[in-house]
Amino acid sequence: MAEIETQRLDGYRHLIDIARDLASTLDLDTLLRRIVAAAAEITDAEAGSILLYDGTARQLYFQVATNMDQPTMRGLVVPLEGSIAGWIVANRRTVRTEEAHGDPRFFSDVEQTTGFPTQSLLGVPLITKEKVVGVLEVLNKNKGNFTDADENLLLVLGAQAAVAIENARLFQQSDLIAEFVHELRTPLASLSTATYLLLRPEISKEQHDQIIYNIHNETLRLNTLASSFLDLARLESGRVQFHKTRFSVNDLIYECKDVMQGKADEARIQLRVDSPEDLPLLEADRDKIKQVILNLLSNAIKYNRPSGSVIISANATETEIAITAQDTGMGIPEDALPHLFEKFYRVREHESKAGGTGLGLSISKQIMQGHNGTLEVKSKVGVGTAFILRLPRGVKKIPRR
């Protein structure tokens, strides 16, 4: 009995240290990884996971699990009805079961997808200010069954985690909104000036037509900015679900080439593919990878030199498939390289060459991270730039509920 009491006190002391760590973390992905790691540790469980709840859409979706380096399956929707996690959200109560498969609420689809077997399970609701944020689960007690002490520790951690998650979300949203509003000022100022000029009686027909053309362009720019902003906000919040299929990388590359061929011809840029025919199939979200490739090709054409070229190449190793977009453009200064993937960042030397939202590379990097992949850049001023997508060939088995 004394030993059990000592273990319980040690657990609560550890929770105090964890609370300090969570309170100082404002990056949502980092925060969630720390929460699931702490949950598995304090309950001596094989794995832990967090499902977040979107009250507006009434959806519950996976966000992170303990043995996952990047949120490859984040956004995977779990039904509110017909799942243990959904029951926890609806009833705001804990579930503890020694045999998950014997529970009629058990949702087996995720287990079938990941291949990770679930035996015992302990799940608690994440609640702050009467609002359900999500569910924190631990799976498969390493020795014996989950106990009252485990449940109490997880409830305390869950309460701390819910507050920390909301704080991180608010910080993330306010930071992104502030940047977005700042970016809106330029096109809005242009539209305001243009409409004012249209009211002047002395402008000529040519000036009138030019102003209308400028208004049209600024409107398109605002629409693109808003769409890109929403894409990035969904990716950063984990609300994007990746729909993975197996597909031919070469087919996708040639499809992207065909889409961009007209833009390349207009800019007098040679666009060609250099890829082996025997590339293995890739398992990923085809539409999202296509979005990344198209963005890189668009940049490679936009920032190229007259009569330049863009080469799309691909190769495979035992562990990954790499896709490279190499251009013969003006190149990127070395001091700008560390900032390329920051939101709304534009290379100062390129601003007069072509406009853009400054979000394309940030979105592309988020998509790659969501696939457990990377996006790299190599560039030399006056020579050109290469962006390299690296995607894992195999899919890690992820312990999820």
- Predicted TM-score (pTM) of the model is 0.63
Residue 220: pLDDT above 50? yes
Phi, psi of 240 (to 5 degrees): -90, 125
Q: Which residues pair with 272 in a beta bridge?
A: 311
Q: Which residues pair with 236 in a beta bridge?
A: none
Reported as a single tens digit per residue, the pLDDT across 312-326 is: 999 999 889 999 999
Reported as a single tens digit per residue, the pLDDT across 174-194 is: 666 766 776 677 677 778 878
- Report whether 248 contacts 281 (CB < 8 A): yes
User: Residues of CATH 3.30.565.10 domain(s) within the chain?
Assistant: 242-401
Helix 249-266 × helix 286-302 angle, to 10°: 30
**Angstrom distance (rounded) from CA 339 to CA 341:** 6
Strands, DSSP E only, in 171-327? 245-247, 270-274, 282-284, 309-316, 320-327
Token pair 């560390």: residue: 338
- Mean pLDDT, residues 74-83: 80
User: Residues of CATH 3.30.450.40 domain(s) within the chain?
Assistant: 2-169
Q: Which residues pair with 124 in a beta bridge?
A: 136
Helix (H, G, I), strand (E, B) or coil at 107: coil
Reported as a single tens digit per residue, the pLDDT across 21-49 is: 676 666 777 888 888 888 998 899 998 98
Q: Measure the N-to-C terminal CA separation of the chain; round to a whole number of Å.
A: 33
Counting every residue written for the chain, the total comes to 401
Fold of 242-401: Heat Shock Protein 90 (3.30.565)
Reported as a single tens digit per residue, the pLDDT across 328-364 is: 988 888 888 888 888 777 776 555 555 556 788 989 9
CATH class label, 2-169 = alpha beta
